[in-house]
Structure 1
Amino acid sequence: MKTADVIIVGSGASGLFNALFLPQDYKVIVITKKEVEESDSFLAQGGISALKNPEDYDSYFEDTMKAGHYENDKGAVEKMIKESPQIIQDLKDFGVRFDLKDGEIEFTREGGHSTFRILHHEDLTGKEITSHLYEEAKKRDNITIMENCTMIDIIEKDGECKGIVYKDADGNLDTIEAPDTVLATGGLGGLFKHSTNFRHLTADSLAVCLRHNVELENINYIQIHPTTFYSKKPGRRFLISESVRGEGAYLLNKDGERFTDELKPRDVVTGEICKQMKKDGSDHVYLSVTHLDGERIKHRFPNIYKQCLDEGYDMTKEPIPVTPAQHYFMGGIKVNLDSKTSMEHLYAVGETSCNGVHGKNRLASNSLLEALVFAKAAAKDITEHPSKAETVEVDLSKYQNEEQREKENEQLVLDEIKRKDRSFYDQWCNDEN
C-alpha cells in the first residue's frame, strides 16, 4: 500500500498541469498506463486557442457555442475563454514556445473559428506543451510519476473516493490511498478500429465510474475527425491537422473537384466527406495543398510533411488521401466548474471529463485550453478544501483476472454508448470502424 495527498491517474497535459498547480508540500503520485510520451496530448498538432483581446470575446464565445450546437454549458465556456490569457502565460512560464512572426506571436485559424486566435508551435503544439510540463514535473520533489501502471478500480467508502487499486509495471496488484483522486485518463479511441488515439486509451475511467454509479454525461458525443491519412495498415490513424485546411487546403473528390467548404465545423465536414465517399464508391477523398506555397507548407507543417513523405506522398506536389476517424470525446465523467464529480473527493479533468465546454461538437484547438483551465481549477479546489487520508481494507483477490475485467470494462462502455445512441454505435463502433 502506498499513500499520497493526491493521486492523478494519467500523465497527459491535464494530469501534469494539475500536478504542477498543487502545493509543493503535497505528496503527489501520478500513474500512467504506458510511458509518459504515449499520451494523446503529445499528438495534438493544430494549436491552442486563446482570447487575443477583450474585443474578441463575443465572437470566440459564439464560435464555441455554434460548433457545439448550442448544447454547451455557458458558464464553462465563459470560464475557459476568460482564463485563456493566464493559461498562455502559465505555459510561457514553463518554457513553452509559440511560433512568432516579426517578433510577435503568430496566430492561425481553423474550421469554425471566425478569426485568427490559435497559437501554435509548428505542427507539434501538443508535444511542445506537454513535454515542457513533463520536464517541470520531473524537477518537483513532491511529484512521483509511475509509468506502465494501470488503474483497475477506485476505492470507495461511504460514497467517497479514498484512492485507487492499480496494477504496477511488474503486474502486481496494489493500492494507493489518498484524500483526493484526479482522473485524467484521456479518451476512448482504443474502442474503435479507426482512431487517431493511442490504442491503450480504452475508457478505463468511464468503466470504473459506471461500476460506482458516478454520473456520466453525453457519453455518445464522440467527434469523428474529417481528415486522417488514409491507410490500409492497422493501428492508430495519423491526423492531418485542421490547420492545414486553415492555411487553405482543398478537399477533392476522385475527379479532383472541390465538394465542400473546408472550414465548416468538424462534424459538418465529416458528414460531407462521408457523403462524397459514398457517391464516389471510395473509402477516401483527397486533401490538396498543391496550389499553396510549398516552402511555406514545409515550414508550417514539418511533421505532417515528413509523415506523408514516409507514406510515399509529397504533399506539396500531389493530393494526399484522407478519411474520417474517431478523434475526440466531448462527453465523459460529469463534473462542475471545479472539475468535481458526483463522488466526493473524486475529480476528473481533460478528455475523460465532461464540463460542458464543447457541447455536442468540439471547436478546433479548444481541447488543450479546456484541459488546462479545468485541471488548474481542480488543483485550486483540492488545495482550498483539504481532507485527511483514511485507510480502507481492500480485497485484492477479486481483481486477479484483470484481463477479463478489462474486456468487460470495454464492453460496459460500448453498451452504454449503444444505450444512449444506437445510430452512432452502429455507424462508428462496429467492425468496419
Structure 2
Amino acid sequence: MKIYTDVVIVGTGVAGLFSALHLPSDKKILMITKSDLESSDSFLAQGGICVLRDESDYDSYFEDTMKAGHYENRRESVDIMIRSSRDIINELVGYGVEFEKKDGEFEYTREGAHSKPRILFHEDITGKEITSKLLAQVKKLDNVTIYEYTAMTDIIEEDGRCIGILAENEHGKLTVYAENTILASGGIGGKYKHSTNFPHLTGDALDISKKHGIRLEHLDYVQIHPTTLYSEKPGRRFLISESVRGEGAVLYNKKKERFVDELLPRDVVTKAIHEQMEKDGSEYVWLSMEHIPKEEIMKHFPNIYQHCLEEGYDVTKECIPVVPAQHYFMGGIWVDSDSRTSMDHLYAVGETSCNGVHGANRLASNSLLESMVFAKRAAQKIGRL
C-alpha cells in the first residue's frame, strides 16, 4: 500500500501531537503509533511540567537545569525551553488542560534538584491530563489521519534526504511518501528489565537512524529514576513521582534510618539507594510519606495512593518498598534548535531526539515542556519552508 502525504509523524505522545497541532492546516498529515493511542509514555508522566514563574526565576531555573545535567547541556537549548515555557502553558490552558489552582492562582510544587517550586500539576496524573487534551484537539483536525498498531520499519532515503517511511501493521506493509518526516517515537525502556516505560518503546528510530548514518548523540545518557514501587512481578514498574519527595516524603534503610537528602538530583539519589541496598543486602529501600498530611496525599497523589493500595500498601499508614528503574533517555538523534536531524527533511522531537536541553541527567518535570517546545519549533520550521 502506497500513501502520499505532506508530513508523516511517527508517534502520538505529546511531541507528536504538539507537532501536528502547529503544522499549517493545509498540510496533509499522517500519524502512526506502534500500539494504541493511550500507550505512550506521555500518558504516564505524573509529577508535572516546569514553567518560568517570572523573570526573577530565570537564573535559578537555568542553573538548576544545568546543574542537574552536569553542565553538559546545550545552553542555547536550555534558554529556548525556559523562555518558551509560559507560552506553552498558556496554549495548554487554551486546549482545556486544568492545572491545580489555589484561590484562583496556579499552585506550584517542587521536585528534586529544583531550588524553588515552579512545577504545575494536575493531581499526580499531569501527563494523562495534558496528553488526553492534546489528543482530543488533534482528533478534531480534518487534515490529520491516525493509524494505530502501525510500526515504522525504516525511513526512505533518496539522494541523502528523507522522503518518507516504511511501516507495517496487521493489513500488511505501507510505503509512506512525505515531504517531511517527524520522528516522535519515544524512549528505550523496552530494552530494560526494570523500566517505567511501556515495553513496546524500544528505540526503533535510533536503530534506523544508525543504519542510515544519521548523527546520534550521547547514547550512554540514560536516567534511572530513584523511586519506583518494588515488585517481583515482571513488566513495567510503577513510578512514585519525585513530587512525593518534593512534598516531604523521606527514604529509609532497613533500620528505618534516613540515609540521603531526598531532593538531590535523580542520579545522586539513585546512587545512594543502590549503595544502601548493597549495605542492607536488600532489593529495595523504604519510602515514607508520614510527613505529608493525609488530606494532601489524597488530593495531590490519588493515583499513587490507589495503586499502592491495590498492591497491599496504605501509604497513609506505612512505608512502601521502592527501587530505582530505567526512566528516561537524555541522548538520541542529534537535532538543531529547530529539531532538524543531520538528514534533510527529517526531524526528531521528544525523547527520541537530543537537542541538549537535559545534558547528562534530566531535571525533574522538564520532559513534557522540552518535548512541546521543540515539537512546536519543528512544525513552525516546516511551515516556513
Alignment of 1:263-282 (within 5 A): 263-282=263-282
1:152 alignment partner, SS class: strand
Instruction: Determine the structure 1 residue equivalent to 2:17.
Output: 16
Conserved? CA contact 1:42–1:131, under 8 Å = yes
Instruction: Determine the structure 2 residue equivalent to 1:235.
Output: 235
Say whether 1:222 aligns with 2:207.
no
In 2, the alpha carbon distance for the partners of 1:169 and 1:46 equals 36
1:178 alignment partner, SS class: strand
Instruction: Determine the structure 2 residue equivalent to 1:105.
Output: 106
Deviation of 1:296 after TM superposition, in Å, equals 1.2
Say whether 1:133 aligns with 2:150.
no
Q: How many residues align?
A: 384
In 1, the alpha carbon distance for the partners of 2:36 and 2:28 equals 21
Say whether 1:255 aligns with 2:287.
no
Conserved? CA contact 1:229–1:320, under 8 Å = yes
Instruction: Determine the structure 1 residue equivalent to 2:64.
Output: 63
Instruction: Determine the structure 1 residue equivalent to 2:123.
Output: 122
Provide Cα deviations, 1:128-181, integer angstroms capped at 9, x if missing partner: 0000000000000001111000000000001000000000233x1111100100
Deviation of 1:290 after TM superposition, in Å, equals 1.8
Q: Counterpart amino acid of 2:150?
A: C
Conserved? CA contact 1:147–1:169, under 8 Å = no
Deviation of 1:298 after TM superposition, in Å, equals 1.2
In 2, the alpha carbon distance for the partners of 1:169 and 1:48 equals 36
2:321 alignment partner, SS class: strand
In 2, the alpha carbon distance for the partners of 1:134 and 1:45 equals 18
Q: Counterpart amino acid of 1:148?
A: Y
Cα RMSD after superposing both structures: 0.5
Provide Cα deviations, 1:367-386, integer angstroms capped at 9, x if missing partner: 0000000000000110111x
Provide Cα deviations, 1:356-375, integer angstroms capped at 9, x if missing partner: 00000000000000000000
Q: Percent identity?
A: 63
Instruction: Determine the structure 1 residue equivalent to 2:50.
Output: 49
Say whether 1:88 aligns with 2:89.
yes
Structure 1 runs (4+) deviating above 4 angstroms are none
Deviation of 1:291 after TM superposition, in Å, equals 2.9
Say whether 1:304 aligns with 2:308.
no
In 1, the alpha carbon distance for the partners of 2:352 and 2:272 equals 28
Alignment of 1:172-211 (within 5 A): 172-211=172-211
Which residues of structure 2 form unaligned runs of 5+?
none
1:75 alignment partner, SS class: helix
2:239 alignment partner, SS class: coil
Provide Cα deviations, 1:173-203, integer angstroms capped at 9, x if missing partner: 1111001000000000000000000000000
Deviation of 1:328 after TM superposition, in Å, equals 0.1
Structure 1 or 2: larger strand share?
A: 2
Conserved? CA contact 1:181–1:345, under 8 Å = yes
Deviation of 1:72 after TM superposition, in Å, equals 0.2
Deviation of 1:295 after TM superposition, in Å, equals 1.6
In 1, the alpha carbon distance for the partners of 2:105 and 2:256 equals 38
In 1, the alpha carbon distance for the partners of 2:222 and 2:382 equals 29
Q: Counterpart amino acid of 2:177?
A: E
In 2, the alpha carbon distance for the partners of 1:286 and 1:175 equals 51
Instruction: Determine the structure 2 residue equivalent to 1:290.
Output: 290
In 1, the alpha carbon distance for the partners of 2:169 and 2:334 equals 28
1:255 alignment partner, SS class: coil
In 2, the alpha carbon distance for the partners of 1:321 and 1:102 equals 36
In 2, the alpha carbon distance for the partners of 1:112 and 1:298 equals 25
Instruction: Determine the structure 2 residue equivalent to 1:77.
Output: 78
1:5 alignment partner, SS class: strand
Q: Counterpart amino acid of 1:222?
A: V
Conserved? CA contact 1:107–1:118, under 8 Å = yes
Alignment of 1:382-401 (within 5 A): 382-385=382-385
2:292 alignment partner, SS class: coil
Instruction: Determine the structure 2 residue equivalent to 1:404.
Output: none
In 2, the alpha carbon distance for the partners of 1:272 and 1:23 equals 48
Q: Counterpart amino acid of 1:176?
A: V
Q: Counterpart amino acid of 1:239?
A: L
In 1, the alpha carbon distance for the partners of 2:331 and 2:170 equals 30
Conserved? CA contact 1:24–1:142, under 8 Å = yes
In 2, the alpha carbon distance for the partners of 1:211 and 1:296 equals 50
In 2, the alpha carbon distance for the partners of 1:384 and 1:12 equals 24
In 2, the alpha carbon distance for the partners of 1:306 and 1:271 equals 28
In 1, the alpha carbon distance for the partners of 2:225 and 2:353 equals 19
1:122 alignment partner, SS class: coil
Conserved? CA contact 1:196–1:326, under 8 Å = yes
Deviation of 1:292 after TM superposition, in Å, equals 2.2
Provide Cα deviations, 1:307-328, integer angstroms capped at 9, x if missing partner: 0000000001000000000000
Conserved? CA contact 1:68–1:363, under 8 Å = yes
Conserved? CA contact 1:12–1:40, under 8 Å = yes
Deviation of 1:102 after TM superposition, in Å, equals 1.3
Q: Counterpart amino acid of 2:181?
A: T
| TM-score normalised by length of structure 1 | 0.88
In 2, the alpha carbon distance for the partners of 1:16 and 1:146 equals 13
Provide Cα deviations, 1:389-410, integer angstroms capped at 9, x if missing partner: xxxxxxxxxxxxxxxxxxxxxx
Instruction: Determine the structure 1 residue equivalent to 2:6.
Output: 5
